[in-house]
Structure formats: structure tokens, C-alpha cells
Amino acid sequence: MKINFLRIFFVSIVFFIIVVFFFSLTQSSKYDTSKMVGKKISNFEIEEFYNNKLISEMELKKSNYNLINFWSSWCGPCRDEHEVLLKLKEINKLKIIGVNFKDKKPNAINFLEELGNPYNLILVDANGKKSIDFGIYGVPESILIDKNLTIVKKFVGPLKPRDYVEILEILNK
Amino acid sequence: MLSITGNVLILTILVITCLIIYKSLASLKNKKDVSILPIIYQLNLLQTTLTITTFFVLVAAFIVSDFSLITVFQNSHTSKPLIYKITGTWGNHEGSLLLWINIMVIFSFLFFVINRKNKNYQLYTLIIQNILIIGFFLFLFLNSNPFNKIFPIPKNGLGLNPILQDPALAIHPPLLYIGFVGSSIFFSAAVAALITDINSNYFARSIKPWIFISWIFQTLGIVVGSIWAYYELGWGGFWFWDPVENASLLPWFAMTALIHSILVLEKKGNLINWVILLCLLTFILSVTGTFLVRSGVLNSVHTFANDPSRGIYILSFLSLMILFSIIIFFKKSKKEKYFFNINSKETFILGNNWFMLFYLITVFVGIVYPIFTEVVADTKISVGPPFYNSVIIPVVIPFLLAMAVGPNLKWNKNEFFNIKKFLTLFLLAILVNIFLVMLFKSSSFIINLILITSLFLIFYSLTDFYNSIYKKIKFDLGRIISHLGFGLMIFFIALNSNFSYEKNFNAKVGEIKEFNIYKIKFNGLGVKEKKNYHSIAGSFSIINIKKNTLLNLDPEIRIYKNPETITYEASIKSSAFQDYYLTMSNISGSDVYNIKFQNKPFMLWIWISAIMISLGGFYNLLKKKNKKIIYEN
Amino acid sequence: MKFFYILIIFITSTLAHGSQNENLENNIYKNLRCLVCQGQSISESNSDFALTIKSVVKDQIQSGKSENEIYNFLSDKYGDWILYRPKINKINFLLWIVPYAALIFGAILIYSIVKKRNN
């Protein structure tokens, strides 16, 4: 009796493992942090791009929604998403804050002159350490934050037109 | 041309394999017809010859850089040195699969030729093995064919990843494959043993050399892989509990359990069901490992290019294998009575199996758990060295003690081991440990225990060695060498992990940094131009302030052309007592370099003792057998 | 008596402890995964991301944060995947329990086999 129970137990474990393996083939193995939503962003102090004034998270409370976009002049996909950013700038409820990531000021200024400036406010993170506070691991990345400083949505990679639509939907709720 | 040749060969071999199975079944049905057997032999010979030829056809394609074959295009380049063109044949998925099949076929042939006494057993093993071969050949032909063509024919290939262009990495796959692919033969033999109800002792003697060969090469394969990782990957470690490394470790645990249990089966005729289970398990684990590594399900430094279709095929094949093994085992295994005295060698061998299965389950759960959480709970977690180290290391402590005491017990007898010897050597181990701790002034509780128990195993093995040489007491020299090697390896790894020094810092050219007992001077940078890469080499002087010695190290940042990759070459100076290890990388957009300096004691001794483990197996395999076969009941 | 002495020596020898403060930094690096690499830790990786994380961890150690606080900080931002040591929580408890459960099960099995003989 005991032996039969053991046999069934082992066979079911083996069966379970095989089923899990089959399912795992359907998962993608690339990892991204877009699921890290729902938490509050931590307090920060970052220098403003032009006048080096220190800006803190209090600045974000001034508007209903903020989109923090991390970008660099040397980043190719950042050029691709610029159109979407310019469109987003036209939305009143949304304030767009750019964080210039590991960049050189002259190059950044040229980049904005060439493609246009979609930002209400630009901050600078020269060594990339401040961006760690936001859970950033590459550029471009964007974070949508509400009035309570909660992360509503994370966009890893360049913003696409469908992301524009999604942001509109969230803002209009 | 080569593509057609290769494909024709594969199809021919497939047909021959089917014929082998057909003729073997016919021979089993008509036992009186002796004319079939020579035909089966000829078919086997033909199959082996053609399979080896197919492999050499692929090697030829790599040597002449025949880019009409996709595999050659994807993994080779005209500027590669010849030796790496050749070894590149098995440095990719399709080529290594062909190597896998070659070993299955060669082992099948050899086993067939050697084991002629019991026809049923011989033929059933042949049939099962050839069914497996067909499975792999179909996979090769339909999904991963190295002879697939590409059109238009490219002028040059994509090149081989430079970190694979290394002598250690060239022999690492063949060694490993003889290990875990070789286990296919005792998988088939175990199934045949179930079907034919064979005599335990005969079964044990027929598979024992194969188990040894498999185990020896698996051990060597894993060690060579670690040596390569240490010298090539540039982080100074040799084992990372990386999922692919772990996949090679799983069959090793099963094989080690098997290599011990087979002794009980041979000497006492007991444990046949367990041995059969282990034989089935080893090859199942090998195929599971292959699935995990090649399907893209795991994230690792070692990944081949990933392709889910491979995963589906291998997993389906694996599921069939497991299903078949379960059914045949439950149907055909016979009830067995066990005769074990508490303080006998057999019980300690059961103990060895107990530990081995613990390690196996731990590593398996560690590999599989992230997959499980992702599928079931939609969360991605990592299971890395902290998990494996904290679960496995404490258990190694009693394991080392048992390794020393177990072999000294006798078969069958219920006697207590020599308490005096145990306590004396244990005390000696403690004293040496105290000496080491006082000399070097730091270690943790666990490390102390590891040092004591590994020293205990070392001393015990040495006294056994002395006794067997001088007092002519009959001891298994192979076992002494292997266990001694294992004890030494753990001992040196413990010392190495405890006394290694590592410092990560930033520096510019011309700066001198001082920490601990070292002064490191960044002398300058140079540029080197080689055939397939150019590099920035840093020149560093390391001064050991305490010993007043000076060493020069020159790590490189290498930029390869085909394919375009950057590698970081460590500069390593090895000596009997320690290795000095230096790597550097550039902080982009600045003239500051991030430097990692390490002092690693006893590295050479770790390699030597690890290789020693397999040498014990070699000794056992090659020594003259006892004329008397002891068969106790 | 002899046994008692041996026990004392054994216990005192294992309690010998050394200072390993320099290792805290390196240990943390080894326990963090480089998110943009294929299966490398922050300690091994030379990527930009790894260098930045190293810098941030150094700052946090300087400001007195403990090892666990640093791990929690990073897993809060990047998810549990960045930690090589799986947390002990509802999802992971099986991972930590199964090996020991197997050990106990094996012991019971062996005990029942060996016991049979003596009956």
C-alpha cells in the first residue's frame, strides 16, 4: 500500500515537472522591469539641467500626472520616440520631465535643438546614479506617475504610438 | 557537394539503424537462426563507419570554410586559426549534436561486440540504444541539420565567438559528451536487464566499465570547463552555479551514486532495482540537461543561440523516454530483499547515495524553481550561488566524515569502526586547523568545520594508502586516490574561498593605489594588433609590501572583428601558493579605468586535486581484475 | 576524559573568527545580477549598468546601510530577479524546504531498509 502511494507520488511529481517545462517554452526569457508598478517613487534631489537648481519629488506634486523620460543624445532609440514625446507635450494634464542620462551638456543641447524640446522640465544625471532610484537600467525608459507619486506605468524602451494611446486612456479615467 | 554528401549519409545511417532494430528483433524471435547475427554485426560496423564519416565531412566543411552550409556560415570565418576552425565544428548546436550521435553509435557498437554471452541481453540493449539513436538522428535531420544549405553562398562567415577560441574549450565538449552521452549505453542496458531478467552479477560486470568511463570523462569535462572559465571569463571564479554548469552536474551526481552502488551489486548481488533506476535516471538527466540548455528556457553565460522548436522536440523525446522508463520499470522489476547490516560497507554506500541524491535534488530544484515560479506565479526570481552554497556546504561536512570511514568497513559484517583511529585522526585534523587559523588569522565557523573534516578525510586516506603499500592490507587504491583527491579539493577550495583577497577600484594612468599589503601601480597603456583583434593592454606593477616582491601584470581589453565583440582578458600569474589576477575595463567616456585585483591562494592545487579524483577512477578501470569473483548472498 | 578534551579543542577551534569587512562590498556585488548581461553578476560584469550599481552600493555602504537594506532597496526598484539569493517568502519557501525534506525522506527510507535485516 505504502509502495503504491510512493509510486503515485513520484510519478505525479515527474508529470508536473514535465508540464511546467512545456509551459515554460511559451515564456520569453527576456526580463524587463515593466511589471514594477504600484509602488511610490522614493524621494530624490536632482539638479536642473540649465541652472543646476536642486529639484525634489515635491515638484511632481504640482501636476496630476508626470511622465519622467530618461534620455541621452548618444541613444539611437531616443530619437525614434521623440515624436511621441512631442505629441504628449500637448496634453495639459501631463507634465513631461526629462532626465538627461550619462550625457555631455553640449551634445544634449544639440540633440534638443535638432529634434525639438518636449520637456516641461529637464533634469540632469551625469553619472547615472540618481536614475537607479527610479529603477532605470538603460535608455530610453519612461515612468508615468500620478499625483500621489505612485508609479502607474513603466515603459522600457522607446515610446510607441500605442503607448501614447494608453497614456491618454489612463489620464482620462 | 558536402551538403548532399552529409544528407545522403544521414539518411543511409537512418535506414541502417532501422535495419539493425528489425534484424535484432528477428533474431530474438528465431533464436535458432544463427545466420542473422553476423548480418547484425556487419550492419553495426557499417553504421559506425558511416556515422564517423559524417562527422568528418562536417569537419572538412569547416576546414575549407564551405559557407554554403548554414552552420559553417554562422560559426566560422576564413581568418580563424586552423585549429579553431576544426574545434568550431562542435562549438555550435548542430555540430555538437552530431558529435553526440557519434558517441551513441560508437558506444553501441563497442557494447554489442564486447557482451556476447547473453544474446537476449545483448540484442535488447542494441535495440533500445538504436531507438534512441533514431530519435536523435531525426531531431538532427529535421530540426538541427548541420548540412542545411544557404543561398546565395556568402563570401565569409559570421565567425566564432572569441571566448570559444581556446584549447580548454575545444576539448571540454568532447570530454563531457563521452560522460553524459556515454550514459545512454547503460540506460539501454538497464532496460534490457529489466526485459530479459538477467543475472545480477553478470549485469553488474557488463555495465561497470561503461559507468566508470562515463564518470571519469564527466568529471574531467566539468573540471576542464571550470579551468577554462577561470582563465578565460575574467572574473576569477571557477564555479558559478550557472544553470548550464548545474545541468552537467546533475548526471554527475547520479553517476557517482551509481558507481558506488554498482559495487554492491557486483559483490553482493543486491540493489539491482536501485542500480537500474540510477542507470535510467542518469541518461534522463543528461537529456533533461540538454533540453534546459538548448531550448532557451534558461538565462546563462553559456547559451547556444536559442530556438523554442528545439525545446519542443527535445522535451517531447524526453517525455517519451521517461514514460517508457516508468512503465517498463513498474512492469518488469522484481521484488528484492535487502540484507544490510548497520555498520557495513553496503550501508555506507547507501549513505553515499543518500548524499548524492540530496545534492542532485538541491541543484535540480535550484535550476527549475525560477521556471516554476514564472509559469505558476508570473514572478521571475533568481537562484544563484548564495542558495546553493548555504544549502549544500553544511551537508558536505558529515559527508566528508562518512567518505573517510565508510570504505574502511567490511562487507556484510556488523563491526564498529576503529574508534581509536577515528579519534586520533580527528584530533590531528583539529590541531592542523588551529594552526592554520592562528597563522592566517581569520575564518568562519563553517569554514573551520569544512577544513577539519576535509583534513580528516585526507589523513584517513593517507593512512589507508600507507597501510595498503607497506602493511599489504588490501585496500582499493583507486578509491583512496579519488577520495583523497576529493578531500584535497574541498580543503583547498575552503582555504581559497576564505583567504582570497579582492579589490575593485578606479584608476588613471600613472596612479598608485595602496590597500591591504599591496601597492598597485598603473604604469601605462599599450596597443596591440593581432590577426583577428586589436587590444588595449594595461601595464601594472603589483608590489607585495609584506614580502617585498614585485610582479608585472598586463590585462587587456580586446576588440575582435569577426564577430564584433569586446572581451576582457585577465592577466594571471600562477604559482604554487597563489594566483595573482587582474582585469581592467574602461569607464566609457573617460580616461578612468575600473580595475579588479585578486589574490587567490592555492588555485593550482584545486585543479590538481580535482583531476586526481578522476585519476582514481582511471586506475580502477585499467587495473587487472581479480581472478576470483566474490559472489556473496 | 580524553573525549572531553577533544570536544573542548574542537569547539574553541571552530569559534576562531576574523574580521571580513572589506568583503562586504564584494559579497554584495557577487549577490546581485547584472540585468543587461547574460547570466553575470555585478561583480563580474564590466557593463555600464554594473559599474553604476557598484557605485551606488558603495555609497550606501558608506552611509551605513546594512546588507539586507541594500538588497531590499534594489529588489524594490528592479524586482526580485536582481537578487541571487532568493528571498524566503510564500512563493519561495518550497525551494528552501524541498532539499531538506528529501534528506529526511531518504533517511527514513534507508532506515527502513537497514532495519528489515535486523528483524
Check residue B74 and give left, alpha or beta (phi > 0: left; psi -120 to 50: alpha): alpha
Q: Which chains touch B (3 or more CB pairs under 8 A)?
A: A, C
* A71, A97, A136, A139, B526 from A85: Cα distances, Å: 11, 10, 18, 14, 45
The DSSP 8-state label assigned to residue B562 in this structure reads T
State the Cα angle at B278 between B272 and B283, rounded to 5°. Answer: 135
Does residue B301 belong to the interface with chain C, where contact is any CB pair within 8 Å?
A: yes
Task: For residue A97, give the amino acid letter.
Answer: I
Task: Give the position of cell 533533461.
Answer: B288
If contacts are CB pairs under 8 Å, which of residues 57-96 in chain B contact chain C? none
- A36:C78 CB<8 A: yes
CA distance C70 to chain A (A): 12
* B416, B601, C53, C75, C78 from C33: Cα distances, Å: 49, 26, 10, 11, 10
Q: Using an 8 Å CB-CB cutoff, list chain B residues near A27.
A: 297, 374-375
Q: Using an 8 Å CB-CB cutoff, list chain A residues near B308.
A: 25
**Which residue numbers in chain B have pLDDT < 70?**
301-306, 414-417, 440-443, 473, 562, 624-633
- B342:C51 CB<8 A: no
- C78:A128 CB<8 A: no
- C35:A132 CB<8 A: no
Displacement of CA B580 from its chain's centroid (Å): 27
Q: CA nearest C82 in B: which residue?
A: B382
Task: For residue B75, give the amino acid letter.
Answer: N
Q: What is the pLDDT of residue B49?
A: 96
Task: For residue C53, give the amino acid letter.
Answer: I
Q: What's the order of all strands across the beta sheet hosting B593-601?
A: B501-507, B593-601, B578-586, B571-574
Q: CA nearest C57 in A: which residue?
A: A129
Q: What is the pLDDT of residue B588?
A: 75
pLDDT per residue as tens digits for the range A4-49:
888 899 999 999 999 999 988 887 667 777 778 888 888 888 999 9
Q: CA nearest B291 in A: which residue?
A: A21
If contacts are CB pairs under 8 Å, which of residues 503-532 in chain B contact chain C? 503-504, 516
Q: Using an 8 Å CB-CB cutoff, list chain A residues near B295.
A: 25
Q: CA nearest A2 in C: which residue?
A: C109
Q: Which among A35, A132, A138 is the nearest to C56, CB-wise?
A: A132
Does residue C95 belong to the interface with chain B, where contact is any CB pair within 8 Å?
A: yes
Side-chain-side CA neighbours of residue C111 (13 Å): 6
Does residue A157 belong to the interface with chain C, where contact is any CB pair within 8 Å?
A: no
pLDDT per residue as tens digits for the range B70-98:
999 988 888 888 888 999 899 889 999 99
If contacts are CB pairs under 8 Å, which of residues 548-577 in chain B contact chain C? 568
State the Cα angle at B124 between B219 and B259, rounded to 5°. Answer: 25
If contacts are CB pairs under 8 Å, which of residues 376-415 in chain B contact chain A? 376, 380
Q: Which among C83, C84, C95 is the nearest to B365, CB-wise?
A: C95
With H, G, I as helix, E, B as strand and everything else as coil, classify residue A68.
Answer: strand
- A132:C53 CB<8 A: yes
Whether B484 and B476 have beta carbons less than 8 Å apart is answered as no
Residue B414 or residue A155, greater confidence: A155
Q: CA nearest C59 in A: which residue?
A: A129
Q: Using an 8 Å CB-CB cutoff, list chain C residues near B430.
A: 6, 9-10, 13
CA distance A129 to chain C (A): 6
* B389 sits in which H/E element: helix B385-405
- B295:A25 CB<8 A: yes
Beta carbons within 10 angstroms of residue B236's beta carbon? 23
Q: Which residues pair with A96 in a beta bridge?
A: A67
CA distance B491 to chain C (A): 15
C-interface mutation test, from A10, A28, A31, A34, most C Cβ less than 10 A away = A31
Which has the closest alpha carbon to A92: A55, A117, A63, A58? A63
H/E/C letters for each residue in B264-318? HHHHHCCCHHHHHHHHHHHHHHHHHHHHHHHCCCCCCCCCCCCCHHHHHHHHHHH
Measured CA to CA, the distance from residue B517 to residue B519 in angstroms comes to 7
Task: For residue B386, give the amino acid letter.
Answer: P
Q: Which chains touch C (3 or more CB pairs under 8 A)?
A: A, B
Q: What is the pLDDT of residue C13?
A: 53
Burial degree of A145 (CB within 10 A; 0-12, 13-18, 19+): buried
With H, G, I as helix, E, B as strand and everything else as coil, classify residue B520.
Answer: strand
Q: Using an 8 Å CB-CB cutoff, list chain C residues near A128.
A: 48, 52
pLDDT per residue as tens digits for the range A90-125:
888 889 999 999 998 999 999 999 988 999 999 999
Give the burial string for A77-89 (b: 16+ CB within 10 Å, else e): ebeebbebbeebb
The DSSP 8-state label assigned to residue C16 in this structure reads -
* B536 sits in which H/E element: strand B533-544
Does residue B382 belong to the interface with chain C, where contact is any CB pair within 8 Å?
A: yes
pLDDT per residue as tens digits for the range B440-466:
666 678 888 898 899 999 999 998 898
If contacts are CB pairs under 8 Å, which of residues 28-47 in chain C contact chain B? 29-31, 33, 38-41, 43-44, 46
Mean pLDDT, range A143-164, rounded to an integer? 90
Please give the grid coordinates belonging to residue B594. Answer: 575600473
- Please list, in sequence order, all residues whose beta carbon lies within 8 angstroms of the beta carbon of residue B339, skipping any fewer than 6 positions away: B268, B270, C117
Q: What is the pLDDT of residue B629?
A: 42
Please give the grid coordinates belonging to residue C47. Answer: 557593463
If contacts are CB pairs under 8 Å, which of residues 417-436 in chain B contact chain C? 423, 426-427, 430-431, 433-434
Is the C-alpha dihedral spanning B485, B488, B490, B492 positive or negative?
Answer: negative
The DSSP 8-state label assigned to residue B334 in this structure reads P
Q: CA nearest C45 in B: which residue?
A: B235
- A127:C55 CB<8 A: yes
Global pTM value:
0.90
Side-chain-side CA neighbours of residue B257 (13 Å): 26
Measured CA to CA, the distance from residue C54 to residue C51 in angstroms comes to 5
Q: Which fold has domain A36-171?
A: Glutaredoxin (3.40.30)
- Please list, in sequence order, all residues whose beta carbon lies within 8 angstroms of the beta carbon of residue B164, skipping any fewer than 6 positions away: B84, B88, B91
Domain boundaries, chain A: 36-171
Chain C residues at the A interface, defined by Cβ less than 8 Å, are: 35-36, 48-49, 52-53, 55-56, 59, 76-79, 81
Beta carbons within 10 angstroms of residue B209's beta carbon? 15
**Which residue numbers in chain C have pLDDT < 50?**
15-21, 119
Q: Which among C36, C59, C76 is the nearest to A137, CB-wise?
A: C36
Which has the closest alpha carbon to B410: B267, B273, B271? B267
Q: Which among C25, C81, C114 is the nearest to B347, CB-wise?
A: C114
- A137:C79 CB<8 A: no
Q: Using an 8 Å CB-CB cutoff, list chain B residues near A29.
A: 296-299, 306
Q: Which fold has domain C20-85?
A: Helicase, Ruva Protein; domain 3 (1.10.8)
